[in-house]
């Protein structure tokens, strides 16, 4: 087996950037009545602020510090969302207290090897807004320790584990913490120092748990991990670092959520035909933006383009504080092969993408296709259908553009007249029907053409040959 450990530092990029002008944010953890610094930005570190320092002492060094309280509930939700996103790289993902473990032995070749996979995971996690360190090792515990120590190592050979772990500090070993003072007094500060000690003496002094943890890291004992099960629906939320009044400013944050959705869907070989983005305000009810698609898709660029069309038409009554992205209906979506030359399938995808963008810009009810109905009356022979669906069209001699109501035409010397006499090209086509529903018609249709002008679809009443009407225009 081969494991990729992802160690998170729980500081979103938005919050990090927000506090830079004010000496940087400080993330704290509650420890009883005292709040200690858990992590500081670079600007705060320049002031001498370090992890473990009391918050009051940190405030004394920087009066304009932005203190961000740690929220374990949100951290757990973010970690679960990240685990669902990581399913695109491997079906075997395990949750850690401060990150993820990905078993990549079966999938590393699909991504160009372990090193390229590690780089891709680290890069895409940063794009989601997290600071992360990634390491690869043959055992889950070794990979976790390497990542927590800040190493980006890729260890493929189990025989190299002892050498790779030797420089790591003992603070990484949980079972060693009760014996930290004694180990320090003995001059044992690294894992290499522990591995050099006699096993019998270590077990007598420090207990079997210490040795067991070391053996797990070296692959000498099993270290099973429970697998994460992704939820059936997608739900992710993102609190904005500051209130946003303009909709175009929401797109950067929305892209993060859509990237999470894309990873979630890739891991399940699925797509969505609809998703909702809720814009949460302070006092007003949420504003829901619903985006529909013709076929199931998951490409983040396309989803973002559709969302942009919706947001550009939206006027915010109140500033937005938080975004919530939902996708309830997950549908199968098979990936397609890339073609060197355009094919019918790729051309159809372009048409589908155009339809989706038009619907996003104009509204769902404004874009549709035409579907034939079993009725010979032209005004009843078609109805609105789902855009993109394949429908059998009517006879090619009929125009698609019909007037809402037939327009009466003048008649001169037995010929229809529209600014000038019209020349009859084809016809007549007798349409006589509708007696069963009380709307009977009896018409003779002709194809007529103006001199140097367009072609028209005209008819005259069968009972009154002098009455002409314009009913349609050919493209």
Q: Are residues 11 and 135 in the same domain?
A: yes
Q: What count of residues does the chain have?
A: 475
Contacts for 75 with CB less than 8 Å, ≥ 6 apart: 10
The verdict on residue 374 lying in a domain is no
How far the first Cα of the chain sits from its last, in Å, is: 65
Q: Are residues 268 and 158 in the same domain?
A: no
The verdict on residue 201 lying in a domain is no
Q: What is the pLDDT of residue 22?
A: 42
Whether the CA torsion 87, 89, 90, 93 is positive or negative: it is: negative
DSSP code at position 55: H
Q: Are residues 316 and 418 in the same domain?
A: no
- Which spans in 248-343 are helix H? 251-267, 300-312
Q: Are residues 11 and 156 in the same domain?
A: yes
Residue 323 in tokens: 């975004």
The verdict on residue 138 lying in a domain is yes
Whether the CA torsion 274, 79, 263, 125 is positive or negative: it is: positive
The closest of 94, 112, 114 to 104, measured between CA atoms, is: 114
The verdict on residue 207 lying in a domain is no
Mean pLDDT by 10 residues, the chain (475 residues): 88 41 55 72 81 84 75 85 94 93 94 95 90 93 94 93 93 88 88 88 86 93 94 91 84 91 93 93 88 86 90 86 93 67 58 71 69 77 67 63 88 83 85 83 89 85 84 84
CA atoms of 222 and 139, how far apart (whole Å): 9
The verdict on residue 190 lying in a domain is no
Q: Are residues 23 and 151 in the same domain?
A: yes
Contact 148, 173 (CB under 8 A): no
Q: Are residues 152 and 279 in the same domain?
A: no
CATH of the domain at 258: 3.30.1490.100
Report the b/e string of 396-417 with b at 16+ CB within 10 A. Answer: eebbeebeeebeebeeeeeebe
Please provide residue 17's backbone torsions phi and psi, each rounded to the nearest 5 degrees: -70, -35
3-state helix, strand, coil in the chain (%, to 5): 35, 30, 35
- Which spans in 313-411 are helix H? 344-362
Q: Are residues 437 and 322 in the same domain?
A: no
CA atoms of 78 and 99, how far apart (whole Å): 10
Q: Are residues 302 and 424 in the same domain?
A: no
Q: Are residues 5 and 154 in the same domain?
A: yes
Cβ neighbours around 465 below 10 Å, total: 11
- Which spans in 31-139 are helix H? 42-46, 55-61, 72-86, 114-127
Tell me which of 143, 162, 181 is where a domain ends. 162
Contact 233, 276 (CB under 8 A): no
Residue 169 in tokens: 């500090």
CA atoms of 197 and 189, how far apart (whole Å): 12
CATH of the domain at 117: 3.40.1170.60
Q: What is the total count of domains within the chain?
A: 3
Q: What is the pLDDT of residue 87?
A: 94
Q: Are residues 144 and 262 in the same domain?
A: no
The verdict on residue 123 lying in a domain is yes
Q: What is the pLDDT of residue 243?
A: 85
CA atoms of 345 and 7, how far apart (whole Å): 42
Q: What is the pLDDT of residue 9?
A: 72
What is each CA distance from 368 to 170, 377, 384, 387, in whole angstroms?
Answer: 66, 21, 6, 5
Residue 231 in tokens: 């939820």
The verdict on residue 346 lying in a domain is no
Range of the domain at 315: 234-333
Q: Are residues 143 and 13 in the same domain?
A: yes
The verdict on residue 431 lying in a domain is yes
The continuous run of DSSP H or E covering 272 comes out as strand 270-280
Q: What is the pTM of this model?
A: 0.72
| Rg value, the chain, Cα | 34
Contact 73, 239 (CB under 8 A): no
Burial class from Cβ neighbours inside 10 Å (0-12, 13-18, 19+) for residue 368 reads middle
Q: What is the pLDDT of residue 21?
A: 39
Helices 251-267 and 300-312, interaxial angle, to 10°? 140
Q: Are residues 322 and 409 in the same domain?
A: no
DSSP code at position 334: -
Burial class from Cβ neighbours inside 10 Å (0-12, 13-18, 19+) for residue 379 reads middle
The closest of 80, 94, 385, 123 to 235, measured between CA atoms, is: 80
Tell me which of 111, 141, 162 is where a domain ends. 162
Tell me which of 119, 146, 162 is where a domain ends. 162
């Amino acid at each position: 087996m081969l494991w990729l450990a992802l160690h998170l530092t729980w500081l979103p990029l938005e919050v990090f950037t927000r506090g830079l002008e004010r000496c940087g944010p400080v993330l704290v953890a509650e420890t009883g009545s005292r709040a200690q610094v858990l992590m500081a930005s670079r600007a705060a570190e320049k002031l001498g602020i370090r992890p473990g320092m009391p918050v009051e002492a940190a405030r004394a060094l920087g009066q304009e510090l932005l203190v961000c309280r740690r929220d374990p509930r949100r951290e757990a939700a973010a970690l679960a969302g990240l685990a669902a996103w990581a399913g695109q790289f491997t079906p075997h993902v395990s949750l850690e207290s401060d990150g993820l473990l990905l078993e990549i032995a079966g999938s590393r070749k699909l991504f160009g090897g372990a090193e390229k996979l590690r780089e891709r995971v680290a890069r895409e996690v940063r794009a989601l807004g997290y600071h992360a360190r990634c390491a690869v090792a043959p055992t889950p515990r070794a990979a976790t320790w390497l990542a927590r120590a800040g190493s980006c190592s890729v260890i493929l050979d189990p025989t190299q584990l002892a050498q790779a772990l030797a420089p790591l500090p003992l603070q990484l070993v949980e079972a060693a913490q009760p014996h930290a003072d004694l180990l320090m007094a003995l001059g044992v500060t690294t894992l290499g120092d522990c591995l050099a000690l006699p096993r019998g003496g270590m077990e007598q002094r420090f207990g079997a748990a210490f040795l067991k943890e070391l053996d797990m890291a070296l692959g000498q004992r099993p270290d099973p991990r429970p697998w994460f099960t992704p939820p059936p629906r997608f739900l992710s939320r993102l609190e904005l670092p500051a209130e946003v009044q303009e909709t175009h400013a929401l797109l950067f944050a929305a892209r993060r959520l859509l990237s999470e959705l894309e990873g979630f869907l890739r891991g399940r070989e699925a797509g969505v035909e609809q998703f909702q983005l809720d814009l949460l305000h302070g006092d007003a009810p949420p504003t829901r933006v619903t985006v529909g698609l013709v076929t199931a898709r998951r490409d983040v660029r396309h989803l973002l383009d559709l969302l942009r069309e919706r947001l550009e038409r939206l006027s915010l009554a109140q500033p937005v504080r938080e975004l919530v992205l939902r996708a309830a209906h997950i549908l199968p979506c098979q990936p397609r092969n890339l073609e060197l030359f355009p094919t019918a399938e790729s051309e159809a995808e372009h048409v589908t993408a155009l339809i989706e963008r038009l619907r996003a810009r104009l509204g769902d009810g404004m874009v549709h296709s035409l579907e034939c109905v079993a009725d010979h009356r032209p005004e009843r022979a078609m109805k609105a259908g789902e855009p993109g669906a394949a429908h059998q069209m009517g006879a090619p001699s009929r125009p698609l553009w019909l007037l809402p109501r037939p327009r009466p035409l003048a008649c001169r010397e037995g010929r229809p007249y529209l600014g000038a006499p019209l020349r009859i090209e084809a016809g007549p086509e007798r349409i006589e029907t509708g007696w069963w529903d009380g709307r009977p018609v009896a018409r003779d249709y002709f194809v007529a053409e103006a001199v140097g002008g367009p072609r028209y679809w005209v008819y005259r009443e069968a009972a009154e040959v002098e009455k002409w009407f314009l009913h349609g225009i050919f493209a």
